[in-house]
Amino acid sequence: MPATNTASTYGSITKVFHWLTALLILTVIPLGLIAEDLAFDAPLKVPLFSAHKTLGVIIFFVALARILWALTQTKPGDLHPDRRLETLVAHIVHWLLYIALVVVPLSGWLHHAATSGFAPIWLPIGQGLPFIPQSETLAEIFSGLHWIWSKILIVSILLHIAGALKHQIIDKDTTLARMWFGRPRLPETSERKKALAAPAIALIIYGLAAGGAAAAGMLSHSDRAAAPVLEQAASDWMVSDGTIGITIRQLGNPVSGQFDDWTAVINFDPEATGTLGHVTATIAIGSLHLGSVSDQAMGRDFFNADTFPTATFDADITEDGSTYVADGTLTIKGITIPVTLPFVLNLQGDTAEMAGSLSLDRRDFQIGQSMADDTNLGFDVAVTVNLTATR
């Protein structure tokens, strides 16, 4: 069996590419569908998604190699050129598959690179991509494109298989035998002429799918309900800028995020003695952005944001040598525990800049109780607070 194509036959290298791709695709799709249906805390969810992503990256590189090889090869002619409509449909399906083998794994890979956390890729290539920043907006766009384009891939595969079965069972021709190994007797055909209709139609289908997804809001989709917008109460010091961030460890890797909506009522007199002031901070739990696990973090086993939409930090402010301490309580999911937040403070007239951090144990607030060990989700949660306030 020759390694290269002829006008009538596919060579062994083309056949290996074809069947290797088929094996990978028919493995990666079920992995993704099964992983998607599993509960977030199911033990197999993360490894199945990691396997899905890893195979997707492999498919991407196999597809590139296959395309480069195909560009150097003769394209065997059609067995039924007289069936013009059927032949055109077959060519369109082939081009839908060729494009899918690139854009579906690439969009999934871009989504993975644009977010953080959850199911790493099991390849020594790192988790990010050059020129792709970590951005929730980008991640949602790539996620939506991956979803809609993967559906085109599945439909194209079904049409491709149906066409092969038709040729084998109804037409009883050598379409399937021509792509299988061995030396079957094949009819002589002329080299297929290049035509733009099929690839153009395939590209239009992908473009329309992307446009339809955008119009339907699928490229900025979130399963989370909108977090309640907090109203700022009267305060001696008004926060003009700041962040409350958290870092968890998932599968041993840090995943960082922050709460976008929170308020702080601060009463503080640096000239006072003993207790210098008091702070009450209210945090909208639903405003948390935590990479790819943002939606899952709102679930009943985690923050249970539907039932407990806010968290509260209430503390007295004292001075401890060159640093300050906010000593009080933190309430999450209706559970209140004592906490101490040490921080440094830079006072410039009526402007104060503070930076502090503390470590919490998620188990104290019954977060992630289904994950009884720290293999998947670490126990410790690092909290950082940075703000600028004006008197």
Average pLDDT over residues 344-365: 95
Q: Which of 390, 353, 384 is nearest to 235 (CA)?
A: 390
d(CA 382, CA 358): 6
Of residues 242 and 118, the one with the higher pLDDT is 242
Average pLDDT over residues 31-55: 91
pLDDT digits (tens, 9 = 90+) for 84-129: 999 999 999 999 999 999 999 999 999 999 998 878 999 999 899 9
pLDDT digits (tens, 9 = 90+) for 133-161: 988 889 999 999 999 999 999 999 999 99
8: which DSSP letter?
A: S
Q: Which of 303, 286, 283, 298 is nearest to 367 (CA)?
A: 303
Q: What is the pLDDT of residue 386?
A: 97
For 216, the 3-state DSSP assignment is coil
Q: What is the pLDDT of residue 309?
A: 94
Pairing of β 310-320 and β 277-284: antiparallel
Q: What is the pLDDT of residue 33?
A: 95
Q: Which of 52, 72, 62 is nearest to 21 (CA)?
A: 62
Average pLDDT over residues 339-360: 95
Of residues 251 and 142, the one with the higher pLDDT is 142
Q: What is the mean pLDDT of the chain?
A: 92
The full DSSP string for 11-24 is: -HHHHHHHHHHHHH
- Model confidence at 69, pLDDT cuts 50, 70, 90, reads very high
Q: What is the pLDDT of residue 228?
A: 64
- Is the separation of the CB atoms in 390 and 350 below 8 Å? yes
d(CA 359, CA 380): 6
User: Which letter, b or e, does each residue of 253-286 get, where b requires 16 or more Cβ atoms within 10 Å of its Cβ?
Assistant: eebbbbbebbbbbbebeeeeeeebbbbbbbbbbb
Query: Which residue do the tokens 């944001």 mark?
Result: 305
Q: Which of 40-49, 189-198, 224-233 has the lowest mean pLDDT?
A: 224-233
Q: What is the pLDDT of residue 385?
A: 97
Cross-strand pairs, 131: none
- Model confidence at 280, pLDDT cuts 50, 70, 90, reads very high
In the chain, residues under CATH classification 2.40.128.110 are 238-390
Question: Residue 234, CB half-sphere, CA atoms under 13 Å: how many?
Answer: 0
Of residues 220 and 303, the one with the higher pLDDT is 303
Q: What is the pLDDT of residue 223?
A: 54
C-alpha distances in Å from residue 141, one per residue of 28, 136, 219, 380: 21, 9, 4, 31
Share of the chain above pLDDT 90, in %: 78
Q: What is the pLDDT of residue 224?
A: 56
pLDDT digits (tens, 9 = 90+) for 315-336: 999 998 889 999 999 999 999 9
Share of the chain above pLDDT 70, in %: 98
CA dihedral 160, 166, 167, 171 (to 10 degrees): -160
- Model confidence at 226, pLDDT cuts 50, 70, 90, reads low
Cα angle 207, 155, 11 (rounded to 5 degrees) comes to: 95
Instruction: Record the tokens describing residue 82, joined without a space.
Output: 């007289």
Q: For domain 238-390, give the CATH superfamily.
A: Lipid/polyisoprenoid-binding, YceI-like (2.40.128.110)
